A = this chain, B = another copy of it.
């Protein structure tokens, strides 16, 4: 039995991963909760808008990857937490901007009205901008790691989020609304749109543990993250057609509504879930030999089998 098969057959897996995610979420939320508390009378709305989205919950998968990869390779939570907070800030900014009327025009996110529905478009735009920019203050200001690690983390985060990564994925996604993409193009789109941030979350954990950007630990973490990132998106596309809005805490069926290219243009639901399982098994194999990797492997299996 492979590690993947063992984990997939474990009835306690969901319980233990949910507990692990909760524990990591608590740790990163304690950091996030210290932010955006300084506003005076003329500008308190900015803090409110930032906190509204930043503290809205969610699975906090990205910071969990940062924390878990740092622990896996012998680093401290103290070193990983600022990076974990920074990736979650970038993720939250991207959600706020994605939901704007000129983008997906969504009303519901994590079970609540979207940021611009509550604060208006201008404040939502600025809250997103501010959070994206502030992430670098948090990452580059991580005094628990040496200066070269801080600088490298800021650089990787910028590459993952900006026009080399997530933002370019968004543009490809929009292009895809009026053009049919090939499977390879769709994979590239997703590697950028959601994959790049998942990947850098793992990378920053490895860096926080003091491992080199060129070492075998980094290579293993990157392969793992790329595979679970793609699996994550495939499952997301499936859930967009099979789950309810209540399960997801956001509008569903919106991919079809926006005429988006999804993996279901290339796979049946069953085929897509099989592909996600295959990628997850490969991901588990990438890091399975490192002692203590069972937590990350369990996370990968949980994500591929999730129902929200």
Contact = CB atoms under 8 A, between A and B. Distances in A.
Interface in A97-145: 97, 100, 102-103, 120-123, 125-126, 128-137, 139-141
10 contacts: A42-B175, A43-B171, A46-B171, A97-B129, A130-B167, A133-B163, A135-B158, A136-B157, A137-B164, A150-B154
Contacts of A125: 97, 100, 102-103, 125
A196 B130 CA distance: 14
Contact of A171 (B45, B97, B137, B154): B45
A168 interface: yes
How many copies the complex holds: the figure is: 2
Contacts of A150: 147, 151, 154
B130 A181 contact: no
Interface size class of chain A, counting residues whose CB lies under 8 Å from the partner chain: 35 or more
A86 to B, nearest CB: 10
A50 interface: yes
A163 B134 contact: yes
A52 interface: no
Interface in A23-70: 36, 38-39, 42-43, 45-47, 50
Contacts of A137: 155, 158-159, 162, 164
B122 A174 contact: yes
Contact of A134 (B151, B162, B174, B189): B162
A151 B158 contact: no
Given A103-B122, A141-B155, A150-B151, 17 more contacts: A42-B171, A42-B172, A42-B185, A42-B189, A45-B171, A46-B168, A100-B125, A102-B121, A122-B174, A123-B171, A126-B167, A132-B133, A137-B162, A147-B147, A147-B151, A151-B151, A151-B154
